[in-house]
Amino acid sequence: SALTQPASVSGSPGQSITISCTGTSSDVGGYNHVSWYQHHPGKAPNLIIHDVSDRPSGVSNRFSGSKSGNTASLTISGLQAEDEANYYCGSYGSYSTWVFGGGTKLAVL
């Protein structure tokens, strides 16, 4: 995948976890247009963060995003069982295209 994410992360209920998303200066590092999607298998992916750190209306403030250089991060605080899902990052990039990460499977232990 164009963007690199860890294959899996895990945490206990109530804890915080962070998922990284590493790209290049042509995508993550070059634009403040990183988005994050939560995906429960079999359902439609759900936008949870856009433009690095903005939350759409209705998304819990337990989800937050940030970026430093070519790496963006998604932090989920106060982990809940319902947060167990796959998480994908995406970024606007060169030549007006979009690139995505390989996805991170979050396990809530």
Partner 1 sequence: QVQLQESGPGLVKSSQTLSLTCTVSGASFSSVGNYWTWIRQHPERGLEWIGYIYYSGNTYYNPSLQNRVIISIDTSKNQFSLKLDSVTAADTAVYYCARRIPGTHYFDYWGQGTLITVSS
Residues found near partner 1 in the complex (CB under 8 A): 1-3, 5, 31, 33, 35, 37, 42-47, 50-51, 56, 88, 90, 92, 95-103
In the complex, minimum distance from the CB of residue 92 to partner 1, in angstroms, rounded to a whole number = 4
Distance between CA atoms of residues 103 and 105, nearest Å? 7
Q: Nearer to partner 1 by C-beta: 82 or 98?
A: 98
Interior angle at CA 71, CA 69 and CA 75, nearest 5:
125
In the complex, minimum distance from the CB of residue 32 to partner 1, in angstroms, rounded to a whole number = 9
Tell me the backbone φ, ψ of residue 25, rounded to 5 degrees.
Answer: -70, -10
Distance between CA atoms of residues 91 and 82, nearest Å? 25
Q: Nearer to partner 1 by C-beta: 75 or 86?
A: 86
Q: Nearer to partner 1 by C-beta: 20 or 102?
A: 102
CA 95 to each of CA 25, 36, 92, 102: distance values in angstroms, whole numbers, following the listed order: 13, 21, 9, 21
In the complex, minimum distance from the CB of residue 78 to partner 1, in angstroms, rounded to a whole number = 24
